[in-house]
Amino acid sequence: MKIHDLITDTDTLAEFCGRMAKSDFVTVDTEFMRENTFWPELCLVQLGNEEEAAAVDPLAEGIDLTPMWDLMTENEDVLKIFHAGGQDVEIVYNFTGKTPHPIFDTQIAMMAISQSEQIGYANLVESWLGKTIDKGARFTDWSRRPLTDRQIEYAIGDVTYLSQIFPMILKKLIKTGRGGWLNAEMEKLADPANYQNDEGDAWKRIRAQGRNPQVLGRLKALAAWREGEAKHKNLPRGRIMRDETLADIASHPPKKQADLAKVRGLSNAWKENDIGKRLMKVLENAEPMAKSEMPAKAKRGAPLGKEGALVADLLKLLLKIRSREIDIASRLLTKANEMEALAAGVRDLPILQGWRYEVFGKDALDLVEGKLAFAVRDGKLHMTHVDDMADDMASSKQAAKQARAETKAALAEAAQAD
């Protein structure tokens, strides 16, 4: 494989992306900093395929990244390969307003062919290639220039290894016939709605108690205000105000600005500074949340109770058994809250649809409805359908009856002979 030097000019980038555009796939990774900013600061982009790889310096003076963004968001003929690519996709969206497509995430794919829930990149490389990654450069400051040779080598390694691993994962997916299982997961990852930053929806990320329209109205207004403050100052949301503090103010709004000094999580300065004044103005203008905006009630059946809780525990046991049997990450099949809903009587669930129903949901439903039972045979736990058990028992009874009849006949014949 040909490894290029750091790309720092537009012409070289355009030529490189032109060659990448002729590939079946391109592996992608990014290095960024976001500890002290609202927007992630893109510091490096790595691209590769089976023949070559390079790192692109987005901080290089005068470089135009358009050829790279076009490759990722406009070229539908090239599959874009990521590992745990959520934040990488977010960065592309922030720059272009679009997401890479079509897309493939090896972390998600591993869930379909192994019991790995969220395998890290280093473990992925070790399990498929038997190589150990040097993690020394992982937490360096990627925004500092010049980058060292060690940093560049480490960064490009992320896509060169991925270029070797992807075909191997794809081959196993084809062999197991599970590629189709991942289509919806990959489309979900590429959905632009996941990365839109609508200030009016910022409240949905905050855990709030209850469904009081006045409280939720204040929460929505405060969250939108904080989002705007964070964007304007390019600071993390938590540096403006923590979620817990924001939710507390929404639930127990101060009557005057001086009371902000009593709020846990705010400094004494809030009682008289400009940001405190802006916060109080937001509270003053906050409207109760409209009925149409109120969060939907969670789908629930009857309260679980003790028996329902036991059924939920049995479902979790069934999930462990099935995940082990077919070698799949249980998280790809379902989650604990979904099994609790199933135990409580809810039936409109992803677990009862599509491939998940065929692989796990059908047996899960049978277990809830008393059609599936657990049994221990030779020290191992087995699942048996009740109908099968009944058939076995009926067969056993018939066989016993037949044996008794044959024995009786044999005894009668022996008596006559005597």
Same domain, 165 and 22: yes
Q: Determine, yes or no, domain membership for 412.
A: no
Mean of pLDDT values over 241-270:
96
What are the pLDDT digits (tens) for 136-156? Answer: 666 789 999 999 999 999 999
Q: Are 88 and 29 in contact (CB under 8 A)?
A: yes
> pLDDT for 351-364, tens place per residue?
999 999 999 999 99
Q: Are residues 205 and 190 in the same domain?
A: no
HSE-CB for 190 with a 13 A CA cutoff: 20
Residue 279 lies in a domain: yes
Terminal-residue alpha carbon distance, the chain: 93
Three-class SS of 338-364:
HHHHHHCCCCCCHHHCHHHHHHHHHHH
- Tokens in use for 201? 């929806």
Instruction: Give the gyration radius of the chain's Cα atoms.
Output: 30
Q: Do residue 100 and residue 14 come from a single domain? A: yes
My answer on whether 44 and 163 are in the same domain is yes
CATH number at residue 72: 3.30.420.10
**Domain limit, last residue, from 194, 222, 243:** 194
* Domain membership flag for residue 299: no
Tokens 């056993």 locate to: 396
Question: What secondary structure does DSSP assign to 363-416, as a single string?
Answer: HHHHHHTT-EEEEEETTEEEEEEHHHHHHHHHHHHHHHHHHHHHHHHHHHHHHH
Give CA separation, 222 vs 105, 199, 210, 252, 347, in Å.
35, 10, 17, 13, 37
Q: Does 326 have pLDDT greater than 80? A: yes
pLDDT in tens, 58-115: 999 999 999 999 999 999 999 999 999 999 999 999 999 999 999 999 999 999 999 9
Q: How many domains does the chain have?
A: 3
Distance CA(228)–CA(87), nearest Å, equals 21
Q: Are residues 98 and 205 in the same domain?
A: no
Q: Pick the last residue of a domain from 134, 169, 194.
A: 194
By the 8 A CB rule, do 219 and 241 touch? no
Based on the domain organization, do 62 and 110 belong to the same domain? Answer: yes
- When pLDDT is cut at 50, 70 and 90, the band that residue 411 belongs to is very low
* Distance of alpha carbon 330 from alpha carbon 80, whole angstroms: 26
Q: What is the DSSP string of 64-85?
A: --HHHHHHHHT-TTSEEEESS-
Position 144, amino acid:
R
Q: Which of 293, 325, 352 is the last residue of a domain?
A: 293
Burial class of residue 172 in the structure, from the number of CB atoms within 10 Å of its CB (0-12 exposed, 13-18 middle, 19+ buried): middle
Same domain, 157 and 86: yes
The pLDDT of 180-208, averaged and rounded, is 92
50, 60, 220, 411 from 20: Cα distances, Å: 10, 21, 44, 87
| Assigned token pair, 274 | 């400009």
Question: What's the CATH number where 207 sits?
Answer: 1.10.150.80
What confidence category does residue 407 fall into, taking pLDDT thresholds of 50, 70 and 90?
very low
Pairing of strands 103-105, 41-48: unpaired
Same domain, 134 and 272: no
Do the domain assignments include residue 220?
Answer: yes
In whole angstroms, what is the distance from residue 255 CA to residue 359 CA? Answer: 56
Least confident of 21-30, 217-226, 263-272, 407-416: 407-416
Same domain for 152 and 31 = yes
Q: Is the pTM of this model over 0.85?
A: no
Start-end of H helices in 182-291: 183-190, 213-233, 237-240, 243-251, 274-285
Both tokens assigned to 151: 């940093």
Structural domain containing residue 270: 199-293
Whether 20 and 26 have beta carbons less than 8 Å apart is answered as: yes
